[in-house]
Amino acid sequence: MPVGSMTQLGTIRLGKGAAQRVPKIRDFMPLARLSDLVFGGWDVFPDDCYAAALKAGVLEDAHRDSVKDFLQKIRPMSAVFDPAYVPTLRGGTNIKSAASKMDLAQCLVEDIEGFRSDSRVNRLVMIWCGSTEVWIERAEAHQGIKEFETGLRANDPAIAPSMIYAYAALKCHIPFVNATPNLCIDIPALVQLAEANGVPVAGKDLKTGQTLVKTVLAPGLTARLLGLRGWFSSNILGNRDGQVLDDPGSFKTKESVKLSVLEHILEPELYPELYGNFHHAVRINYYPPRGDNKESWDSIDLTGWLNYPMQIKVNFLCRDSILAAPLVLDLALFIDLAHRAEMKGIQDWLSFYFKYPMSPPGVDPENNLFIQLVRMKKMLRFLMNEEGDGIET
């Protein structure tokens, strides 16, 4: 059962009054069928997908071995990678070499077109699930398509590998989703390219464990107008993501996204006496024995009537990859749907899936999980020329 997948298990309320009906989204929307999906990608390690799954240790033997033959047939293409952007990721040998970042982008374009031809697929989407890169400031190379392409040719350090992948996808008219906190598709140059080529894009950073909890709890605090004095979040994680985030530069990229969530939900400018001066801290610690089974702790300091203090403690023992997998599936199906509907540029109706959702210029991102859900289902009804009663299920 595809637990956690909105496209496979989710429902949508249609019609009003006696005409109301609640079909599953997969029966209502013309989504690609799971049996039609073909997988390909890049990795710095040459292992086939079965060997990679064995090393990752996420799945139990029975689940992994039931698709062994299928996974062994999927071998990664050589990756665009630079250790300067992910300092703690070492040992990769399946890496492209070229004179310039523009040449690397062209290599990716050739990979994409080769995969398109060999797989005989009708459509492609690219979901960026690479490691968290070090913090990158917005620079001149990010401001426009011309500046970006000049930067590619000049090997501008402001252009990270994730941006090269995004550029290659957009040049091939392929929808792109950034599932990481990296500065990537959300720079003006690539948004302009997406618009110019009629390609939908979305991001960033999948909302899986601790941040999912925050986007559920924080709206409850504002709904009841309870004050917030502080929110301390700590994590231990032992997989490769944890190893990468052990680098201060990569952690800063992740931290900036995690810290942004509460500000947008609580709206301190509207409720300065409740949320105008709360303390928010996030910690991530690499702890190899835990593997993919992340543990997060949240300590929340509240104030109630007469400013009496209260506390909430949350201990979430989750599995990062298990939470992320259905989101990747949903985003692949929804961004493909958007492309077929001739939508282009930033798809903020997909904010439901992200910690720091992209939004059009001048529009604040929405982080309230429940408002995000309403907006997403409203878009699905619009695409199918249906109406609803404003109540979501």
Tell me, what's the pLDDT at 393? 57
Cβ atoms < 10 Å from Cβ of 207: 25
234 and 144 in a common domain = no
Of 355, 205, 210, 353, the closest CA to residue 284 belongs to 210
> Residue 362 — pLDDT band, cuts 50, 70, 90?
confident
The predicted model scores a pTM of 0.94
**Per-residue confidence band for 268, with pLDDT thresholds at 50, 70 and 90:** very high
Task: Give percent of the chain with pLDDT exceeding 90.
Answer: 84
pLDDT value, residue 254: 83
Residue 311 pLDDT: 97
**Domain final position from 273, 290, 317:** 317
Write down how long the chain is.
Answer: 393
Same domain? 113 vs 202: yes
**Other C-beta atoms lying within 10 Å of the C-beta of residue 371:** 16
Question: Averaged over 72-100, what is the pLDDT?
Answer: 96
Q: Give the pLDDT of residue 154.
A: 98
Question: Mean pLDDT across the chain, nearest whole number?
Answer: 94
Q: 50 lies in a domain?
A: no
Assess if residue 393 is contained within a domain.
no
Residue 261 falls within a domain, yes or no?
Answer: yes
Angle 220-4-240 (CA atoms, 0-180°, nearest 5)? Answer: 95
Euclidean distance between CA atoms 72 and 47, whole angstroms: 9
Instruction: Judge whether 68 lies within some domain.
Output: no
Mean pLDDT, residues 126-145 taken together:
96
Of 317, 334, 368, at which residue does a domain stop? 317
Q: Which domain holds residue 26?
A: 6-44+79-206+322-383
* The total number of structural domains that make up the chain: 2
> Can you tell me the mean pLDDT for 41-61?
95
pLDDT given for residue 388 in this prediction: 80
For position 267, which CATH number holds? 3.30.360.10
Among the ranges given (75-84, 162-171, 172-181, 263-272), the one the predictor scored with the smallest mean pLDDT: 263-272
pLDDT for res 17: 78
Q: Per-residue pLDDT for 233 more than 90?
A: yes
**Tokens read off for 306:** 């007469």
**Per-residue pLDDT tens digits for 240-262:** 888 888 888 888 888 888 788 89
Give the model's pLDDT for residue 390.
Answer: 64
Do 100 and 135 lie in a common domain? yes
Considering the domain architecture, whether residues 182 and 89 belong to the same structural domain is answered as: yes
Choosing from 317, 345, 364, the residue where a domain stops is: 317
Per-residue model confidence (pLDDT) at position 260: 85
> What pLDDT, on the 0 to 100 scale, is given for residue 137?
94
Most confident of 135-144, 253-262, 361-370: 135-144
Residue at 65 is within a domain? no
In a domain, residue 231? The reply is yes
54 within a domain of the structure (yes/no): no
User: Same domain, yes or no, for 157 and 254?
Assistant: no
Indicate whether 309 and 331 sit together in one domain: no
Q: How many of the other CB atoms lie within 10 Å of CB of 158?
A: 17
Is residue 46's pLDDT more than 70? yes
Model pLDDT for residues 190-224, shown as the tens digit of each residue = 999 999 999 999 999 999 988 999 999 999 999 99
Which CATH number belongs to the domain containing residue 379 in this structure? 3.40.50.720
Q: Is the pLDDT at 391 greater than 80, yes or no?
A: no
Say whether pLDDT at 392 is over 80: no
Query: Would you say residue 115 lies in a domain?
Result: yes
| pLDDT at position 19 over 80 | no
d(CA 118, CA 120): 6
The predicted model gives 41-51 an average pLDDT of 97
